Amino acid sequence: MNSPEELFATPTDTNADTDALARLHRKLEQAAEEEGLLDVAYRTVDSPVGPLLLAATARGLVRVAYDVEGHDRVLDTLASRLSPRVLRAPKRLDPAAQELEEYFDGRRRRFDLPLDLSLSKGFRLLVQQHLPEIGYAQTRSYRQVAELVGNPKAVRAVGTACATNPLPVVLPCHRVLRTDGTRGDYVGGPAAKTTLLNLEAAA
């Protein structure tokens, strides 16, 4: 005779259950959006610089994260800083995914997306807001960016603002180099910075 525990043991991952849960998840995403409960929607996309996490609030794109940042850790941070109502819901990210794909194909030079910069404050926010003024395939030094935002002595703070950019690629901190012309650090790692600069130079 089976014990009740054996009787109700979870069956080995039946495909039917997995399909049903995928379908129910999609329904939940849609209902959450309709009810205004989707505080943070996210998805991942593949790119020449590795998988990117994209997250958006109702206001706009709020976070782009490289694999090296640890997507789970980034999601934990979004849950604690914005709202724990975080759901994998690709639909809201469709426009961002589309524009990024065009960018990586060399068919887009400027992003036209609603952005939510609520993760940044003060001087960092100011610097990040000015980054799109550095045009496609151009570069500036940290010093030049400090001058651009009207605080020529804040070179190190510009470096910090770039390192904490919540929207890399979209806000092009990869176009900011060290004053001696070397690439300098990058939130996605130095190889990603090189890839983006080469992509823009070739397009």
Partner 1 sequence: MSTKQPFEKVVAEHGRTVLRVCRALLASHDADDAWSETFLSALRGYPELPATANVEAWLVTIAHRKAIDVLRSRKRQPVPVEEVTEAPATHGVPDADDADDGLWHAVRALPGRQRQAVAYHYVAGLPYAEIAQIIGGSTDAARRAAADGISNLRKNYPGGGPS
Binding residues for partner 1 (CB under 8 A): 1-2, 4-5, 7-8, 10-11, 14-17, 19-21, 23-25, 27-28, 31-32, 35, 37, 40, 42, 75-76, 78-80, 83-88
Closest separation in Å from C-beta 136 to partner 1: 34
Whose Cβ is closer to partner 1: residue 17's or residue 46's? 17
Closest separation in Å from C-beta 31 to partner 1: 5
Closest separation in Å from C-beta 44 to partner 1: 12
Q: Classify the phi-psi angles of 131: left when phi > 0, otherwise alpha if psi is within -120 to 50, otherwise beta.
A: alpha
Catalytic site residue from 149, 169, 173, 196: 173
Whose Cβ is closer to partner 1: residue 25's or residue 156's? 25
In this structure, are residues 172 and 129 in contact, taking their beta carbons and an 8 Å threshold? no
Q: Where are the beta strands (DSSP E) in 46-161?
A: 52-56, 61-66, 86-88, 140-141
In this structure, are residues 85 and 203 in contact, taking their beta carbons and an 8 Å threshold? no
| C-alpha span between 160 and 95 (Å, rounded) | 29
Known catalytic residue: 162?
A: no
- Active site positions, annotated: 173
